[in-house]
């Protein structure tokens, strides 16, 4: 008998391969949008990206990385100067504090090198699983989990891939249906689709390549 056609009501595990295939075709340029040259820069940029656009972060980081090229430099920075340099990313006092304290720990516990292990990364101030997954996936090419940011959270729910709002539970649900070899890629694909098509306030459902697989399409 022929395979049963996929519908929005098909189980997530059955829909996800086609969702990934179509998103891959629609967004061949999907990748980390934060400009960086090493693991430290990516870590700092990801911390700055909380509640802030990647575009804004990319405007701040060139001067920031020029002034503080190493973890040692960030750890020894004048806090007020660091705060001023990251002010436009929002929540700048807390971000500056986390960056400086994370870099101090990197210097004293990891010889100045950003660790490549989830358990170590999440001990750093300001670093939870999302930030750790970004660094592990995009710099070290280690698939230890799936990045769950606001876009991934929104799309995973709209697509019926999860019923949860907690990022850890969403990540767990996605990891259960996405092959590990695609854990890094799926984050980029969902983020790009969220930015370009499945936007928070007004998703462009008529021009969505996975509309026929989305149980939320008719809601908009």
Catalytic positions: 130, 149
How far is CA 129 from its chain centroid?
10
Q: Which two tokens stand for residue 144?
A: 């230890």
Give the angle subtended at the CA of 109 by the CAs of 103 and 111, to the nearest 5°. Answer: 80
Please give the Cα distance from 30 to 60 (Å, whole number). Answer: 22
Distances (CA, A) of 179 to 35, 71, 175, 190, 218: 27, 34, 7, 15, 29
Please give the Cα distance from 180 to 83 (Å, whole number). Answer: 38
| DSSP character at residue 178 | S
How far is CA 15 from its chain centroid?
22
């Amino acid at each position: 008998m022929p395979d049963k056609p996929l519908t929005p009501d098909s189980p997530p595990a059955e829909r996800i391969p086609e969702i990934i295939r179509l998103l891959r075709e629609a967004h061949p340029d999907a990748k980390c949008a934060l400009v960086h040259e090493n693991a430290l820069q990516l870590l700092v940029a990801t911390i700055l990206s909380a509640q802030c656009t990647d575009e804004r972060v990319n405007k701040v980081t060139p001067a920031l990385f020029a002034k503080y090229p190493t973890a040692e430099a960030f750890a020894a920075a004048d806090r007020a100067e660091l705060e001023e340099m990251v002010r436009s990313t929002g929540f700048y006092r807390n971000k500056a504090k986390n960056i400086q304290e994370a870099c101090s720990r990197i210097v004293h516990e990891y010889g100045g090198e950003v660790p490549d292990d989830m358990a170590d990364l999440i001990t750093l101030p300001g670093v939870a699983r999302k930030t750790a997954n970004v660094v592990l996936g995009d710099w070290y090419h280690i698939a230890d989990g799936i990045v769950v940011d606001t876009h991934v959270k929104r799309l995973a729910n709209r697509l019926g891939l999860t019923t949860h709002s907690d990022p850890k539970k969403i990540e767990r649900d996605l990891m259960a249906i996405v092959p590990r070899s695609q854990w890094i890629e799926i984050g980029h694909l969902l983020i790009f689709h969220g930015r370009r098509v499945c936007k928070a306030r007004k998703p462009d459902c008529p021009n969505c390549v996975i509309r026929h697989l989305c149980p939320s399409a008719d809601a908009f």
